[in-house]
Amino acid sequence: MKLLFALFLIAMIACAWANPDKRGLWEELQKEAAKILACEGTLDQSLCEDCCASTTWFHPSEQSACTTACAILP
């Protein structure tokens, strides 16, 4: 477990020091994750699914991931 954490930490440091092109990709991933969290922030499954459907996603699979994440809401 400690080895896995160390590898994760090294990967995060590498991403932080990456050239601007790679850093842009990392920022895009953060923005997409923030969209999913914003939809889940509605705290209602139907509102969350509507949010996922109306959001513009970078990749189509992210909409299905968002909708799946809404399934845990009441």
Distance of CA 11 to the CA centre of its chain: 17
Report the C-alpha gap between 74 and 72 in whole angstroms.
7
- Tokens encoding 5: 């954490």
Q: What is the mean pLDDT of the chain?
A: 78
Q: H helices within the chain, ranges in order?
A: 2-16, 20-40, 45-54, 60-70
Name which residue leads in pLDDT, 48 or 57: 48
- Tokens encoding 36: 């999913």
pTM: 0.59
C-alpha distance from residue 7 to each of 1, 3, 4, 10 (Å): 10, 6, 5, 5
Q: pLDDT value at position 36?
A: 84
Name which residue leads in pLDDT, 23 or 11: 11
Boundaries of every domain in the chain? 34-74
Q: By mean pLDDT, which of 6-15, 37-46, 48-57, 62-71 is the weakest? A: 6-15
Q: Confidence class of residue 22 from pLDDT cuts 50, 70 and 90? A: low
